[in-house]
Structure 1
Amino acid sequence: MDTRRPSSTSEMQVTSIRLEAELKERLRELSGEQGYQTLIREVLWQFVEQRLMPLEKRSSSQTPLLSQSDIRVTFDAIAQREEHCAITGQPIRPQQPMKLGLTTTGELVPLSA
């Protein structure tokens, strides 16, 4: 666990956020026993930590694999160095055809052709 994260609710600040009723209900369904507020905190921490560490600086074990729904558009490309597919984790060798995927968060990621 990240040491920057508060370990108890007494160390947290109250923040108000407006959510659509349907979104709140879906979050409750997804969160199960942990509760939707905990789920929202976890998602926000993951987002912040990923934004603070660009893809190029992450080791392959730190780079979470993406799903196809995370990709907005793809472009044909040729690898200039060894890469790893952001969806499958498979290596992409230099000079091998590949695709670049633009994610929903605006990052370009390598994808297997």
Structure 2
Amino acid sequence: MPYKSQTATTEMQVTSIRFERSLIDKLKAIAGRQGYQALIREVLWDYVERQTESQLLQIRATLPSTAQQQERCALTDRIIQPQEEMLLGLTTDDRLVPLSLSTGEFVAPVG
């Protein structure tokens, strides 16, 4: 599903990135009336979503847990507060990573 920004451009952070002129010309041609900056945002969001899906596929099991200190969800980057219920995800390379409960809807249930 294509990403559609709900954020006003006035609330977006300005950044600078250099592209070859030929790439910009091709992006403008592909984007048409949408505009190439919106197209680039859409492409980048699509990439981020695919990377997140790829990370989800690397989690092979989850365990219920309680945070003992502030953690950051490995998938959503959401802050998990101390004493907050969370999941520990076991990755395919045998690492345990913190997961917020909201990511539980995306990963296979435990048990």
Structures share fold, TM-score greater than 0.5: no
Structure (1/2) with the larger helix percentage: 2
Tell me the TM-score normalised to structure 1 length: 0.44
